[in-house]
Structure formats: structure tokens, C-alpha cells
């Protein structure tokens, strides 16, 4: 049973830009983020605290977080690979941090150079660090199960391994466990099944978000399947920008414009102004002209008379 309102978490400034060959200038990045927020996106993953030698596109993440904090009503999310990254995220003022734990250990070693045990140890250390902070200064801490639906290096991952890693992240103290289709291997059946399986071991309230890719054209179908399971937070990227540099063949995210249109067409409130969202593409295209942008809705336009989800009427 789906919910009447969903949260679209825009990950383009992180997952999108990390896969680009060039670096988006800071001022253009902030112009883009402000436009996304003005369009109604309430959560934006603005970057990751990784070594600039590995991902020069993310070298200005701390400055982006500081500047983005000036945007009223915006939840600022970042990705962190370890305790050091989490400390930098806290110092900059991020509201949400995500630690990726690839269920494929081979991918984990290539992506963040850590074994499963080492990532769990980082999670424990991050939780201990967060507990020393005043309650109002503690960012929300998500542990994300990457390559959860399959890995381009290892192939299918045994379900018992995925469930055990979910339990270990929760035991380490993560607030929530996210499911990530890093390689675009998922299909509606596997999405429904894994959501149910992981919730079965850690609880329904600990799995509320998914990160899906559109590698094989099933992104929206998978999002709808997740929605039907009660998932309420969906990662996506403007123009479908993105992918994983350390997972061969892993291409872009779900197109934010298409995802918002699907939900709004169904009467499900996203809080996003589609016209304003589509206009954000001009900023991205102008700053990154060499990048191909995807999306059916931006090219076809909105249907004549389209109004989106109805505004709920308050009952007194």
C-alpha cells in the first residue's frame, strides 16, 4: 500500500557529477542547487566527502554544504566513505550522511577500499562520534546497501549475505538502511522481494528509501514497485545524470523529471513544480555541455491541462 506523499531526494550534484569527465564550477553548482530547491525539492545530496584525488568533482563539497545551508527548508545530504568523511560532514553542517556498504565485497574494495568488516567498523566509529554531539547537531545516519540487486563484478549476491549486512549496519547504530541498485540489475519482482526480505529482519520502519538506476530501462517500474511496498523516499537525478565509476557498465539514475511526473500523474504529492524542475536542465546543460541529458517528459512536454497531484484539503 503506497503513501499519499513521497520525498524525491535529488542526487545529481553527487551521484550525477561524480560520473562526469569534467568538474562543474562551484558557482554553477550552487546556482543549480538553488534552482532545484526553488522547484520544490526538499532533500538534495550535494556531494561526497571523498579524496579529491579520486573524485576531483567532489573537491568543493564542504564549501557546497556551507553555502547550501543558507537555503531555507532544504535537507542537505552527503555521502561519506569513512569516519574522516563523517567528521568533515558534521563540521560543514550536513543534515544527513550516508555510508555505502556494498554487499559485493569485491565492489566494496574497488569503491571505497574496505572489506565488509572494515565498513562496519567505520559505521560503529561514526555512531560513537555522533553520540558525542549535542542532539540538535547530530545528522541523520543512513547505511546504504550498494549493489543490493546484483554486481557487475560478482553477479548475484546471496540473499543471506545481504540480510546479514543489513542487520550488522543496524546493530552498528545506523538510523536507517537504504537499498541501492547501483548497477541497474533490479526488476519489479526483485525490488518487492528484497524490500520485504530486509524489512523482515530489521523492521518496516528501518527501510523507507531506495536508490534505483535506469540502466536497463526499468527505473520507473522499479520505483513504482517500491512505492507499492510502502517506500516513501526515492533517489533520482536531474536529466538521469550519473552512474558508478567503479562498477563497469553501471549507467545513470532515474530521471527526476520523469519520476516526479509519474507520481504527480497518479495523484501522489511530491511537492515539486514540474515546470520549474524542467527549467533546471538549462543550468546543467549550460555548465556541462558535454554531458548527455535524458528524460521523456522534458522532451515531450507536459500533457495539455496537466495539473499534477491535488492539494489536500485540510479538515478542521
**Residues 151, 174, 244, 280: which is the catalytic one?**
244
Q: Which residue has cell 565488509?
A: 116
Question: Nearest 5 degrees, angle CA 301-CA 305-CA 308?
Answer: 80
Alpha helices in the chain (DSSP H): 26-38, 61-68, 83-92, 105-112, 116-131, 159-172, 188-202, 219-228, 256-265, 274-287, 296-300
Known catalytic residue: 20? no
Which distant-in-sequence residues (6+ apart) come within 8 Å of 216 by Cβ? 184, 185
Which distant-in-sequence residues (6+ apart) come within 8 Å of 73 by Cβ? 37, 42
CB 17 within 8 Å of CB 56: no
CA distances from 133 to 122, 129, 130, 194 (A): 17, 7, 5, 34
- Which of the residues are catalytic? 244
Amino acid at each position: 500500500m503506497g503513501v499519499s506523499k513521497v520525498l524525491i531526494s535529488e542526487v545529481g550534484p553527487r551521484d550525477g557529477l561524480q560520473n562526469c569527465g569534467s568538474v562543474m564550477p562551484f558557482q554553477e553548482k550552487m546556482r543549480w542547487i538553488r534552482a532545484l530547491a526553488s522547484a520544490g525539492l526538499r532533500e538534495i545530496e550535494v556531494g561526497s566527502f571523498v579524496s579529491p584525488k579520486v573524485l576531483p568533482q567532489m573537491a568543493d563539497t564542504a564549501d557546497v554544504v556551507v553555502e547550501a545551508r543558507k537555503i531555507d527548508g532544504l535537507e542537505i545530504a552527503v555521502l561519506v566513505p569513512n569516519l574522516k568523511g563523517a567528521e568533515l560532514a558534521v563540521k560543514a553542517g550536513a543534515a544527513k550522511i550516508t555510508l555505502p556498504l556494498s554487499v559485493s565485497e569485491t565492489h566494496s574494495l574497488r569503491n571505497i577500499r574496505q572489506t565488509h568488516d572494515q565498513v562496519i567498523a567505520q559505521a560503529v566509529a561514526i555512531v560513537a562520534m555522533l553520540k558525542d554531539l549535542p542532539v540538535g547537531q547530530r545528522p541523520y545516519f543512513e547505511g546504504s546497501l550498494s549493489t543490493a540487486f546484483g554486481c557487475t563484478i560478482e553477479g548475484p549476491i546471496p540473499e543471506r549475505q545481504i540480510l546479514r549486512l543489513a542487520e550488522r549496519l543496524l546493530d552498528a547504530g545506523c538510523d536507517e538502511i537504504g537499498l541501492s541498485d547501483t548497477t541497474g540489475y533490479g526488476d519489479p519482482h526483485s525490488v518487492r522481494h528484497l524490500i520485504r526480505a530486509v524489512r523482515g529482519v530489521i523492521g518496516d520502519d528501518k527501510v523507507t528509501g531506495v536508490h534505483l538506476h535506469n540502466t536497463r530501462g526499468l527505473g520507473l517500474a522499479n520505483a513504482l514497485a517500491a512505492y507499492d511496498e510502502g517506500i516513501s523516499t526515492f533517489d533520482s537525478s536531474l536529466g538521469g545524470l550519473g552512474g558508478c565509476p567503479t562498477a563497469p557498465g553501471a549507467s545513470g539514475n532515474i530521471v527526476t523529471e520523469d519520476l516526479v511526473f509519474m507520481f504527480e500523474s497518479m495523484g501522489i504529492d511530491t511537492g515539486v513544480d514540474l515546470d520549474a524542475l524542467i527549467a533546471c536542465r538549462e543550468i546543467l546543460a549550460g555548465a556541462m555541455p558535454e554531458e548527455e541529458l535524458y528524460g521523456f517528459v522534458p522532451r515531450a512536454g507536459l500533457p495539455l491541462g496537466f495539473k499534477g497531484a491535488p492539494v489536500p484539503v485540510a479538515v478542521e
